């Protein structure tokens, strides 16, 4: 499928770094590690008790990135890709320790309204859009096309400042709440939530139809949207937005949405980013931080050189 357009998620800076890394440019790799390792550490620390495990999974994550450079097609930003790899490594670490490998990503998921279990209601409209998975390869293709369509739709909501809609979709697809609980939370009619959801699925479907050229048009469902919402993080504010949030320089409506997304939804990706940003603003990188960065670079440089030579 040549010439598929990249979404905004992979920005120019990401692209430059990746190009450098793919060409075996050591300084691009150093830059990439130093740019992302802080937020990955923050995320891992929230998930793992042992500090040694935390450093190991972050190191393994960067190694995984080097190994999967060829297959990464830029469906998401480098940060989102790294978070996906990190979640897998954390799940592995839990599995090794004999614990439940489920990596919780959002607080609201485990704290729905007591009267409303953490599953979305299945209206007839939902069922008409239900998804069946044919095979793994198809699933990955569907997910990648879906992520692009969803990102395009959420980017538009952000640029039009339709934050109430964004909140609704965060609660639906990220936190997995029922329509009724969402209506109560946001002061909407339950039917309004259903309509918003229906229109969003329609918009994404239309987008998909223009992207898929063959007959492999993916069927849709809330379940897969949830998966995409978690893997692709289309509603998460950009890091620059989070930086302004820390400094208190966001506009009121953006500030309100970021607070909702972090405190009410409890997005763990953004929480990790915020933690890392605050640390960056308040203190320079400490010694152990630099040591770890050195170890990451040391453990990955062989793979990079191998890429350059091959
Ligand atoms: Zn987020």
What confidence tens digit (pLDDT) does each residue in 13-42 have? 888 999 999 888 889 999 999 999 999 999
Q: Residue 258 C-alpha to ligand 1 middle, in angstroms?
A: 8
Domain spans of the chain? 1-104+269-310, 106-266
Instruction: Quote the pLDDT of residue 307.
Output: 64
Cα-to-centroid distance, 262 and ligand 1 (Å): 7
175 Cα–ligand 1 center, Å: 12
- For residue 208, give the H/E element and its range: helix 190-211
Using a pLDDT cut of 70, give the percent of the chain over it: 79
Give, as one character, the DSSP assignment of residue 310.
Answer: -
Tell me which of 120 and 202 has the higher pLDDT. Answer: 202
For residues 272-283, average pLDDT: 84
Say which DSSP state 107 is in.
Answer: G
Most confident of 72-86, 107-121, 134-148: 72-86
pTM above 0.85, yes or no: no
What average pLDDT score do residues 241-261 get? Answer: 94
Separation of CA 144 and ligand 1 centre (Å): 19
Look at residue 147 in the predicted model and tell me its pLDDT: 86
Contacts of 280 (CB under 8 A, 6+ apart): 38
Selected residue with higher pLDDT from 272 and 139: 272
What is the token pair recorded at 230?
């978690």
Span 1-104+269-310 CATH architecture: Orthogonal Bundle (1.10)
Tokens of 118: 């953490």
């Amino acid at each position: 499928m040549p010439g598929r357009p990249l979404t905004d998620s992979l920005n120019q800076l990401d692209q430059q770094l990746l190009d450098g890394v793919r060409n075996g440019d050591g300084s691009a790799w150093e830059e990439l590690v130093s740019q992302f390792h802080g937020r990955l550490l923050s995320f891992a620390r929230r998930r793992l008790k042992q500090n040694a495990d935390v450093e190991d999974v972050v190191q393994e994550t960067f190694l995984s990135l080097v190994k999967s450079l060829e297959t990464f097609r830029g469906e998401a930003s480098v940060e989102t890709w790294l978070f996906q790899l990190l979640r897998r490594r954390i799940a592995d670490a839990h599995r090794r320790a004999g614990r439940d490998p489920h990596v919780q990503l959002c607080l609201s998921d485990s704290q729905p309204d007591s009267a409303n279990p953490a599953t979305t209601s299945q209206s007839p409209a939902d069922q008409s859009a239900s998804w069946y998975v044919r095979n793994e390869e198809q699933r990955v293709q569907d997910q990648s096309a879906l992520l692009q369509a969803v990102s395009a739709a959420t980017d538009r909501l952000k640029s039009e400042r339709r934050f109430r809609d964004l909140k609704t979709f965060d609660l639906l697809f990220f936190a997995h709440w029922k329509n009724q609980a969402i209506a109560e939370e946001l002061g909407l009619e339950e039917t309004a939530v259903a309509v918003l959801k229906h229109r969003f699925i329609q918009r994404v479907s239309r987008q998909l139809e223009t992207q898929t050229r063959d007959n492999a048009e993916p069927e849709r469902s809330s379940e897969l949207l949830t998966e995409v919402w978690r893997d692709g993080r289309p509603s998460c504010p950009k890091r620059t937005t989070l930086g302004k949030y820390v400094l208190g320089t966001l506009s009121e409506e953006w500030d309100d949405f970021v607070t909702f997304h972090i405190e009410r939804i409890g997005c763990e990706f953004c929480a990790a980013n915020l933690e890392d940003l605050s640390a960056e603003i308040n203190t320079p990188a400490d010694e152990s931080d630099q040591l770890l960065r050195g170890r990451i670079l040391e453990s990955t440089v062989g793979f990079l050189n191998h890429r350059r030579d091959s």
